[in-house]
Amino acid sequence: MFRSFSRGYILVFLVVTALTVGYVLHRDLAGQYTFYQENEEYVRTMREQLRTLTAEEQRLTERVEGLTSDPVEVEADIRSSKGLVRPNERIVRIEPAETEAP
């Protein structure tokens, strides 16, 4: 009686194990998990790009506001982009000294 009882448990265990393995293979759970991990990495990358673009947008918005409301900034932008100088004004360029490698 004890042998038939333990054979029944072994048989049930084997059937449950076979069904579990069949379910995992049928649903391709390993592939879905890999896909999930790849998507998580993509989402992280996109969030970082969003942060970068948001900071860039903020910087450009402040620049546009400065150019529309501050005449000194408008003049400085035009002068730097066109290379213009006022009368009797000199441009002094300071270049870093070249250092020799030891």
Structure-block tokens of residue 90: 């000199």
Question: How many other C-beta atoms lie within 10 A of the C-beta of residue 79?
Answer: 13
Q: How far is CA 24 from the centre of its chain?
A: 32
Q: What is the pLDDT of residue 5?
A: 66
User: Which of 34, 57, 53 minimizes the C-alpha distance to 45?
Assistant: 53
Q: What is the pLDDT of residue 29?
A: 77
CA dist 75 and 81 (Å) reads: 10
pTM here is 0.49
Q: What is the pLDDT of residue 102?
A: 60
CA dist 35 and 46 (Å) reads: 16
* Alpha helical stretches, state H, the chain: 2-27, 29-69, 71-82
Q: What is the pLDDT of residue 41?
A: 93
pLDDT digits (tens, 9 = 90+) for 22-66: 887 778 877 888 899 999 999 999 999 999 999 999 999 998 888
pLDDT digits (tens, 9 = 90+) for 66-86: 888 888 888 888 887 887 777
Q: What is the pLDDT of residue 100?
A: 72
